[in-house]
Amino acid sequence: MLPASAYSSALPLSRKAAQELFARPEDLTALVAPFLTFVQIPLEERIGEWRFAGAAKTLAEAVRRIERFAVAFQISDTARAKFIAGLLRSCSEGKEMYPKTSPREVSGPHRVVLCVQYGAPYEGLGAAIVEVESLDGSGFDKQKPESELPKQWRKMSVQWVLKMGTKQFGPPSDEVKAAIKAEKRSAVWGTWRRRWKRFKSWADLMPSE
């Protein structure tokens, strides 16, 4: 693991220290060590779940992992370090918003570089970076980023698309409405919002098998 002096401030980073460090990309790149990244996604009102966003070899790569994960889960619309920056702006100092322990169990020697979560204690949005001595034995050495969308999101997506579709295309037929409610493929319902501007009719929402 890196010596404590490698960081510009004591760990876990405070809000101010994180904002200052993340504003210096060259310093992030210089911090070379195995890192684990996690993102908290909302499941429903005031309830979130921490997901593994991937491993990284530098702190700069760890930040990119989190930003890309946030974009993939549609909780951020840009991969340019806006998700973490937004959390830091929104979250004032305090142990509930800046926990000192890893949000997920990590085996072996490790330390939290940053953990920030919006709200108290589980509003549904958060980001964490954990430095480990080695990926081997950490419990995440062979794990890929968790990409499956929460099942709770399907109901919300269906409600949203029926509301927006009725405004744009007119009321759906009973057949179309039933098909939308029965859609189970996350690759379909999980992209409705992101691709909404491309749709010209109800038929565009339901691709063939």
Give per-residue pLDDT as tens, 106-131: 999 999 999 999 865 556 789 999 99
The residue behind tokens 């034995």 is 137
Q: Would you say residue 132 has pLDDT above 70?
A: yes
From the list 189, 164, 170, the residue with the least C-alpha distance to 179 is 189
- Looking at 94-202, which runs of residues are DSSP E strands? 110-118, 125-132
Which pLDDT belongs to residue 44? 75
Q: In which band, very low, low, confident or very high, does the pLDDT at 153 lie, cut at 50, 70 and 90?
A: confident
Give per-residue pLDDT as tens, 186-207: 888 888 988 899 999 998 987 7
From the list 97, 114, 120, the residue with the least C-alpha distance to 19 is 114
